[in-house]
Amino acid sequence: MKQIKVFCFSPCGKTAVAADTIALRLSSRLGMDVVWSDYTTPSLRSQIVGIEKDDIVIWASPVYAGKTPNVMLPFVKEHLRGKGNPVVLLATFGNRSFDNTLAEMSSLVRNGGMNPVAAAAVVAEHAFVPELGFCRPSADDKRELEMFADAIDFGSGINIVPGVADAPYYQPLKEDGTPAKFLKALPVVDDSKCTACGKCVTVCPVGSVSLENVAVFSSPCIKCMACVKNCPEAAISINDADFKSHRRMLLSSMSDAKENVFIV
């Protein structure tokens, strides 16, 4: 029996909201079951299901520096492989730009033997500047996503996707317009607040913190902010000066609400 297979990376949960909206609408429209493959954390990645010949695939990812998170590319190249399966691409972006993400996603699924039939770039709350895209996807965004799902033609494909698949990653900037270099910055823990509950361990996509010492983060850190957002004691933060300057730059220059983009 054909199924809708959803492959979703969603450290802060907003990408999953948008993907679920599409999946549920397509399930109702096509009378097909939905099977989730959430590949956000190492434990979830161990439970991934395969893609069968007649499955419809939804691939959902947030935009990191103008493309898909590079640390997840080995997983994507290994598991998003099929035999001509139609794929719906979904990129969520934090009210700045989706840049080259859809082009990259389209190229990756084609290389995996599948056929992109529709693509969407949808505004979601920014991971480390939550004031941008606050509370999005909103009810209006969800209605647009449902209309998008209704318009998808699974008998054809999309040939033109904005962007360049192999373009370089977006260079974050500080308030003065110079490069913001915070790639190696790590979260810090306020020992006076931390209760060692281990929540940060369970939500980290790259295993940067362990139960043995929840007060110390190690590289790599992809700045997904899952640990910050999910800490019940608000004990985790990123205090790097360039990171903070980039946050202020985004807040001052990217506050006008962006529109969603749909390609069918």
- Tens of pLDDT, residue by residue over 14-26, are 999 999 999 999 9
What is the pLDDT, as a whole number, of residue 215? 81
Phi, psi for residue 67 in degrees, rounded to 5: -145, -170
Q: Given a cut of 90, is residue 210 above it in pLDDT? A: no
What is the pLDDT, as a whole number, of residue 68? 97
What is the pLDDT, as a whole number, of residue 159? 83
Question: Residues of 179-204 as b/e, b for ≥16 C-beta within 10 angstroms?
Answer: ebebeebbbebeeeeeeeeebbbebb
The pLDDT of 167-189, averaged and rounded, is 96
Q: Given a cut of 90, is residue 213 above it in pLDDT? A: no
Distance between alpha carbon 181 and the CA centroid of its chain, in Å? 22
What is the pLDDT, as a whole number, of residue 262? 98
Distance (Å, rounded) from C-alpha 202 to C-alpha 98? 28
pLDDT tens digits, 110-135: 999 999 999 999 999 999 999 999 99
CB 35 within 8 A of CB 8: no
Kindly tell me the burial class for residue 170, based on how many C-beta atoms sit within 10 Å of its own C-beta (0-12, 13-18, 19 or more): middle
Query: How confident is residue 1, by pLDDT bands cut at 50, 70 and 90?
Result: low
Which SS3 state, helix, strand or coil, does residue 54 take? Answer: coil
pLDDT tens digits, 147-172: 999 999 998 889 889 999 999 999 99
Radius of gyration of the chain (CA): 18
What is the pLDDT, as a whole number, of residue 33? 97
pLDDT tens digits, 232-251: 999 999 999 999 999 999 99
Which SS3 state, helix, strand or coil, does residue 46 take? Answer: coil
Phi, psi for residue 194 in degrees, rounded to 5: -65, 130
Q: Given a cut of 70, is residue 138 above it in pLDDT? A: yes
Distance (Å, rounded) from C-alpha 101 to C-alpha 136? 19
pLDDT tens digits, 90-101: 999 999 999 999
Q: How many CB atoms lie within 10 A of CB 75?
A: 15
pLDDT tens digits, 38-69: 999 999 999 988 999 999 999 999 999 999 99
Question: Residues of 30-56 as b/e, b for ≥16 C-beta within 10 angstroms?
Answer: eebebebbbbbbeeebeebeebeeebb
The pLDDT of 3-13, averaged and rounded, is 97
Q: Characterize the bridge pairing of strands 188-189 and 236-237.
A: antiparallel
Q: How many CB atoms lie within 10 A of CB 156?
A: 12
pLDDT tens digits, 246-256: 999 999 999 99
Please give the model's pTM, rounded to 2 decimal places: 0.95
Residue by residue, DSSP assigns 181-224 as --TT---EE-TTT-----HHHHH-TT--SBTTBTT---S-----
